[in-house]
Amino acid sequence: EAQVTQNPRYLITVTGKKLTVTCSQNMNHEYMSWYRQDPGLGLRQIYYSMNVEVTDKGDVPEGYKVSRKEKRNFPLILESPSPNQTSLYFCASRSGDGELFFGEGSRLTVL
Amino acid sequence: GEDVEQSLFLSVREGDSSVINCTYTDSSSTYLYWYKQEPGAGLQLLTYIFSNMDMKQDQRLTVLLNKKDKHLSLRIADTQTGDSAIYFCAEFGSSNTGKLIFGQGTTLQVKP
């Protein structure tokens, strides 16, 4: 089954403790990206990757890092999380004909 | 910068048609999407349209694209209570960038 898988789905952590949210897709898509969703602010793009070893900033990249060492994985790294990074995070991948699939979301709380 | 706008709320009666509207500013858009999000859930892709198309129909859903006016609409025929959700339109820019911009979302309320 074609899918985008994110882990963890839920996480509560403390300020400054490094964490990684993984994202994996099994559709051999070149394009992948990360978004955060916040009440009143909607969905905003954090980073995207057009292909392996090619990443670029979206609208809200501050405080985040990504890597794309292989096509299927696109982890989101929070080196030193802060409370303003408490949010619902979505990963997505896109097929060559434009179909854009989202993962189920990862709800992160930073205390 | 690029922007995508939607009205925030729409209320309809069960069995009526719903039309959710979206406007965007990027004239080099390639793909435009409609997603549905139910409370506490993820983003479900409903349909999408390539920018060289005017219309796309998929069962109860009809997407209309007016590229000249940069206007996108989603029509849901025979709206059911299960269609109550937030609907997002999103616009993907030119093919050599990876930026995807979402509207604020339209809350659709379906009354029995």
Contacts of A98 (CB under 8 A, 6+ apart): B30, B31, B48, B50, B92
pLDDT at B29 (0 to 100): 82
Q: How far apart are CA B53 and CA B72, in angstroms?
A: 11
How much is the mean pLDDT over chain B?
92
Read off the pLDDT of residues A48-68 as tens digits, 9 standing for 90 and up: 999 999 999 999 999 999 999
Contact of A65 with chain B, judged by CB distance below 8 Å, is answered with no
Contact of A2 with chain B, judged by CB distance below 8 Å, is answered with no
pLDDT at B105 (0 to 100): 95
Question: Is the CB of B45 less than 8 angstroms away from the CB of A90?
Answer: no
Q: Which of A33-37, A77-81, B1-5, B31-35 is predicted with the least confidence, judged by mean pLDDT? A: B1-5
Q: Is residue A65 a contact partner of residue A45, using CB atoms and an 8 Å limit?
A: no
Q: Quote the Cα angle for A95-A100-A103, to 5°.
A: 115
Number of inter-chain CB pairs under 8 A, A vs B: 54
Contact of B107 with chain A, judged by CB distance below 8 Å, is answered with no
pLDDT at B95 over 70: no
Mean pLDDT for A62-82 is: 97
Mean pLDDT for A80-89 is: 97
Read off the pLDDT of residues B66-88 as tens digits, 9 standing for 90 and up: 999 999 999 999 999 999 999 99
